Amino acid sequence: MIVTLIVLCEVGFWVLLAAGLALRYPARKPRLGAAVLLCEPLLEVVLLVVTAIDLKNGAEPDWKHGLAAVYIGFTVGLGHFTIRWVDARVAHRFAGGPPPVKPPKYGMERAAHEWRVAARWTVAAVTALALLQAAIWYVGGDGDVTSLQSWQQKMLFVIGINVVIAGGYTVFPKRERAGR
């Protein structure tokens, strides 16, 4: 049931995003479109409540509960950026907005960009870590929480990979070729 709800939340995210942007641009109702976009966090609240109820009713904590926490964390860390990214492209394509700003390709500007990306992924992973830890405490000593702890290790790996990538761009900044 939890996996089905996660899939429904993901589909709901994209449906609300499409509906909100359709109202903003083709329908020329920006306030209504913004209101629809603001409904997206409700999906995560529903997922969080259903997951907590499932655990409270005695379900053994497993990978599905961990996946729900990770999904919520990634929505917190990356959802707003994703909405802005899609909004800029839709505004350009359908409403005559300016072309989307492309990330810098070279030098310390690129490194700074990569650190901002790493920060978003870190917020996502830390949020997931916190939710996973809350689930571990919620279950208490009675349940087997190894699957939740396994998800925590994966989130630490996500943080590490993003820091290594951003650090690589800082230490070894990409340079523009001489011929350009």
Q: What pLDDT is attached to residue 175?
A: 87
Alpha helices in 97-145 (DSSP H): 107-139
- What pLDDT was estimated at residue 32? 96
CA 144 to CA 134: how far, in whole Å? Answer: 14
Q: In this predicted structure, what is the pLDDT of residue 180?
A: 59
Rounded-to-integer distance, Cα 126 and Cα 56, Å = 24
Q: Name the average pLDDT for the chain.
A: 93
CA-only gyration radius of the chain, Å: 20
Lowest mean pLDDT among 82-96, 104-118, 139-153, 162-176: 139-153
**Tokens 């900044």 found at:** 173
Q: Who has greater pLDDT, 176 or 111?
A: 111
Average pLDDT (145-158) is: 95
pLDDT band at 179 (very low <50, low <70, confident <90, very high): low
Name the DSSP letter for residue 25. T
3-state helix, strand, coil in the chain (%, to 5): 80, 0, 20
Domain ranges in the chain?
2-171
Q: What gap in Å lies between CA 161 and CA 177, rounded to an integer?
A: 27
Of the ranges 4-13, 87-96, 138-147, which one carries the lowest mean pLDDT score?
Answer: 138-147
Given a cut of 80, whether residue 156 has pLDDT beyond it is yes
Quote the pTM value.
0.90
Average pLDDT over residues 156-163: 98
pLDDT in tens, 71-125: 999 999 999 999 999 999 999 998 899 999 999 999 999 999 999 999 999 999 9
